[in-house]
């Protein structure tokens, strides 16, 4: 009778093990409950039942089983780590840490409890403690891919990029066929501005798993960073073909089309990127913005006002480019007062951006408020003395002011010194010479402007600075040549 009883128990244990491996939780629960009726004193059976309840997300029942297993059999690493996992699932990382620490005391060279300790510390924001636990693992088990990977991710979050790259490389020494490791290394190399090396890493990841939309996207994204949008297109199209709901793939595709001057295609791809939330009402559509807002609100409720302010100011900076681009759009529609308001808003958010100040100057210039324009342009140059466009725009304003033609000439010349291809500056000098009646010099600089890329014939034909040259044969010939060269 006893032999049959033992045989029944052995068969049921094997069946339960197979069901657990295949995650057939409900069937495994029935088998293990039968085992308990056969042998109610076996702590391992209660531990296995608790594990099954974990799989069924019945956490209270799981905890009851684990407690019973500990009562019947005393502390064991396996059951303590089951308890750690249970509290991890419940988001109770302090208790996860407690049980994992108890497990370490039973065997301080076993890496598994240290992984639970490191994971708990990471989730609690205790980065140094997590690093220490993982370094213990790599000291005893230098072949641990997981430990090196977790260290790499920690160092990446701390912007310790050299250390991060080293850890991912150590992991790859153990497993060069892990695509995720190549992708992680690619991200680190990208942040180190080692763009070509990052491309090589991303391509290796994609070669290993060719049907992964994220890896395809990574290659396309890095080609955009390399200013090769035509090469990016194929990979980005592959990414959205693999996953038609891959929003960030459409975002980058729109960017690639924009860089290629395919603006209609850019509109379509960019619209698709936000098609599930066109009004951008869901935080997951703007994950960074939403997460930073949540973080700021949490700090606010914790009374950490300095940290909360930093979060909200970080989000506010993202609005600067939106205000600026709206201002630019309004400026192109000759709605200068409205554009000025948006340029000023952008400047308030990012006061150290010379482009924003330059466009404030341009708006004031178009509104015929030349003194204010000059003040804004001087401010732009104070922020960045090498910003050639600000010098050019100052020349334009000075040229419109009485008695400032010499100063205007110096501004145009300074712009050319900073950017020898700034054709508008050559054009501006040509205008000054034209107004002075110095035909040869005027046409020389106009020709130079054409050589550098000036093609705005409509502007030239309307510009009163050249009204005395309208019937001049050399002037007409320059225009004809420029149109042939288009």
Within a domain: 456: yes
pLDDT of residue 484: 63
Instruction: Report yes or no: 28 and 20 within 8 Å, Cβ to Cβ.
Output: yes
Band the pLDDT of 380: cuts 50, 70, 90: very high
pLDDT at 290 (0 to 100): 76
Q: Of residues 291 and 173, which shows the higher confidence score?
A: 173
The answer to whether 264 and 238 have CB atoms below 8 angstroms apart is no
Lowest mean pLDDT across 5-14, 27-36, 405-414:
5-14
Specify whether the backbone of 438 is left (phi greater than 0), alpha (psi in -120 to 50) or beta: beta
Residue 260 — pLDDT band, cuts 50, 70, 90? very high
CB-based contacts of 337, cutoff 8 Å, min separation 6: 363, 367
Domain presence at residue 468:
yes
Question: For position 1, what pLDDT does the model report?
Answer: 44
Separation of alpha carbons 266 and 255, rounded Å: 7
Model confidence at 4, in pLDDT bands (50, 70, 90)?
low
CB 25 within 8 A of CB 52: yes
- Residues 341 and 359 sit within 8 Å (Cβ to Cβ): no
Most confident of the ranges 55-69, 275-289, 458-472:
55-69
State the pLDDT confidence band at 222, using cuts at 50, 70 and 90: very high
Q: Is the pLDDT of residue 275 over 90?
A: no
Total number of domains in the chain: 1
pLDDT one-digit tens code per residue, 287-301: 677 778 888 888 888
Residue 8 pLDDT class (50, 70, 90 cuts): confident
Range of the domain at 469: 420-486
Q: Mean pLDDT across the stretch 450-461?
A: 91
Long-range contacts of 427-434 (CB under 8 A, 24+ apart): 427/454, 428/392, 428/395, 428/396, 428/399, 431/399, 431/463, 431/465, 431/466, 432/399, 432/405, 432/408, 434/465, 434/466, 434/468, 434/469
Q: What is the DSSP string of 247-312?
A: HHHHHHHHHHHHHTT-HHHHHHHHHHHTTTSTT--SGGGGHHHHHHHHHHHHHHHTT-HHHHHHHH
Q: If pLDDT is split at 50, 70 and 90, which confidence band does 100 have?
A: very high
Burial label, 191 (beta-carbon count in 10 A; 0-12, 13-18, 19+): middle
Please say if the pLDDT value at position 117 is more than 70: yes
Range name among 215-224, 404-413, 475-484 with the lowest pLDDT average: 475-484
Q: State what percent of residues in the chain have pLDDT above 90.
A: 81
What does the pLDDT average to over 237-260?
A: 94
485 in any annotated domain = yes
Q: Residues 73-83: pLDDT tens digits?
A: 999 999 999 99
- Whole-model pTM: value is 0.72
Report, in angstroms and rounded to the nearest whole number, the Rg of the chain calculated over CA atoms.
34
Burial class (CB in 10 A: 0-12, 13-18, 19+), 21: exposed
Task: Examine residue 10 and state whether it is found in any structural domain, yes or no.
Answer: no
- pLDDT at res. 282: 63
**Would 382 be classed as within a structural domain?**
no
Domain contains 321: no
Pairwise CA distance, residues 254 & 273, whole Å: 8
- The DSSP annotation for 399-421 comes to HHSTT-HHHHHHHHHHHHHH-TT
Residue 162 has a pLDDT of 97
Specify if 440 maps to a domain.
yes
Model pLDDT for residues 136-170, shown as the tens digit of each residue: 999 999 999 999 999 999 999 999 999 999 999 99
Distance CA 213, CA 220 (A): 11
Whether 280 shows a pLDDT value over 70: the answer reads no
Three-state DSSP state, 212: coil
Q: What is the pLDDT of residue 279?
A: 66
The pLDDT score that the predictor gives to residue 5 is 61
Whether the per-residue pLDDT at 272 is higher than 60: the answer is yes
pLDDT bracket for residue 72 (50, 70, 90): very high
Q: Is residue 426 part of a domain?
A: yes
pLDDT of 284: 56
For residue 245, give both structure tokens.
């709901």
Query: What average pLDDT does range 265-286 have in this prediction?
Result: 77
pLDDT of residue 414: 97
Residue with tokens 């039942």: 49
Q: How confident is the model at residue 486 (pLDDT cuts 50, 70, 90)?
A: low
pLDDT at residue 254 is higher than 60: yes
Q: Above 60 in pLDDT, residue 319?
A: yes
Residue 3 has what pLDDT? Answer: 56
- Residue 419's contacts (CB-CB under 8 Å, 6 or more residues apart) are 388, 425
Gap between the Cα atoms of 357 and 380, Å rounded? 5
């Amino acid at each position: 009778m006893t032999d049959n009883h033992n045989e029944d128990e052995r068969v049921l244990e094997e069946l339960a093990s197979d069901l657990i491996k295949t995650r057939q939780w409900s069937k495994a629960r029935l088998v293990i409950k039968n085992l308990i009726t056969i042998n109610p004193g076996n702590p391992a059976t209660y531990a296995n039942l608790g594990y099954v309840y974990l799989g069924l997300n019945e956490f209270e029942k799981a905890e009851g089983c684990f407690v019973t297993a500990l009562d019947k059999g005393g502390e064991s690493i396996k059951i303590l780590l089951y308890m750690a996992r249970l509290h991890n699932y419940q988001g109770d990382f302090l208790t996860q840490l407690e049980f994992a620490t108890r497990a370490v005391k039973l065997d301080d060279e076993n890496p598994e409890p240290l992984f639970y300790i490191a994971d708990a510390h990471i989730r609690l924001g205790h980065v140094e403690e997590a690093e220490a636990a993982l370094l213990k693992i790599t000291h005893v088990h230098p072949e641990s891919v997981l430990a090196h990977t977790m260290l790499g991710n920690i160092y990446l979050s701390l912007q310790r990029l050299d250390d991060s790259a080293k850890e991912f490389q150590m992991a790859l020494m153990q497993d060069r066929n892990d695509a995720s490791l190549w992708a992680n290394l690619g991200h680190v190399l990208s942040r180190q501005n080692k763009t070509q090396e990052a491309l090589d890493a991303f391509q290796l990841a994609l070669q290993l798993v060719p049907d992964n939309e994220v890896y395809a996207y990574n290659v396309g994204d890095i080609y955009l960073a390399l200013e090769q949008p035509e090469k990016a297109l194929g990979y980005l199209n592959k990414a959205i073909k693999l996953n038609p709901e891959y929003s960030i793939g459409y975002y980058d595709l729109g960017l690639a089309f924009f860089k290629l001057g395919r603006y209609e295609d850019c509109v379509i791809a960019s619209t698709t990127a936000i098609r599930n939330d066109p009004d951008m009402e869901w935080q997951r559509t703007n994950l960074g913005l939403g997460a930073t807002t949540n973080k700021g609100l949490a700090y606010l409720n914790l009374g950490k006002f300095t940290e909360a302010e930093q979060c909200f100011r970080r989000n506010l900076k993202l609005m600067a480019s939106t205000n600026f681009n709206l201002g630019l759009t309004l400026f192109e529609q000759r709605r200068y007062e409205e554009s000025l308001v948006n340029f000023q808003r952008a400047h308030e958010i990012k006061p150290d951006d010379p482009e924003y100040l330059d466009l404030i100057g341009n708006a004031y210039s178009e509104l015929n408020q030349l003194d204010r324009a000059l003040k804004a342009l001087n401010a732009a140059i104070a922020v960045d003395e090498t910003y050639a466009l600000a010098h050019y725009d100052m020349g334009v304003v000075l040229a419109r002011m009485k008695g400032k033609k010499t100063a205007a000439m110096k501004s145009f010349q300074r712009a050319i010194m900073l950017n020898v291809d700034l054709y508008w500056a050559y054009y501006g000098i040509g205008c000054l010479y034209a107004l002075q009646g110095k035909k040869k010099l005027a046409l020389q600089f106009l020709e130079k402007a054409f050589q550098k890329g000036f093609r705005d014939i409509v502007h030239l034909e309307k510009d009163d600075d050249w009204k005395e040259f309208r019937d001049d044969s050399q002037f007409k010939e320059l225009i004809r040549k420029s149109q042939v060269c288009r």
